[in-house]
């Protein structure tokens, strides 16, 4: 399985994948995790990438089971006001919420989702 995570603060994501079950899965070649800085793809001079937030399906064990069966997953971390609507319109196939609360960004939620998925790999 390959997981690509697109984030505004990629530094927040390194630690969860450097320890425990996630690291063992990576070391065994069961999963590849690639973290990308979203601002590298911004087209304006301010590197602005956000828009207003939008609710998604609530993440649960059944969704983790389903996602663990995919060969490739791209996780786009919302930040500040969320993700630009143009990205949603053209690239997003599913929006997921990890709960009814506000985080400073989607990086911790992405780590949570990846942890739940990677644990299910044989």
pTM of the model: 0.79
Q: Please name the residues in contact with 68: beta carbons below 8 A apart, sequence gap of 6 or more.
A: 1, 117, 118, 120, 121
Q: Which residue has the higher pLDDT, 56 or 9?
A: 9
Please name the helix (run of DSSP H) or strand (run of DSSP E) that holds residue 53, with its range, or none: none
pLDDT per residue as tens digits for the range 26-36:
999 999 999 99
Rg over alpha carbons for the chain, rounded to the nearest Å, is 14
**Surface-to-core class of residue 70, CB atoms within 10 Å of its CB (0-12 exposed, 13-18 middle, 19+ buried):** exposed
**Surface-to-core class of residue 44, CB atoms within 10 Å of its CB (0-12 exposed, 13-18 middle, 19+ buried):** exposed
């Amino acid at each position: 399985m390959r997981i690509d995570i697109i984030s505004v603060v990629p530094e927040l994501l390194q630690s969860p994948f450097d320890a425990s079950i996630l690291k063992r899965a990576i070391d065994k070649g069961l999963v590849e995790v690639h973290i990308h800085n979203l601002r590298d793809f911004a087209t304006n001079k301010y590197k602005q990438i956000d828009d207003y937030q939008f609710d998604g399906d609530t993440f649960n064990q059944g969704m983790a089971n389903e996602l663990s069966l995919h060969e490739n997953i791209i996780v786009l971390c919302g930040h500040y006001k969320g993700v630009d609507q143009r990205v949603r319109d053209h690239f997003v196939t599913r929006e997921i919420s990890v709960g009814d609360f506000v985080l400073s960004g989607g990086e911790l939620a992405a780590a949570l989702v990846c942890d739940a998925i990677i644990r299910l790999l044989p």
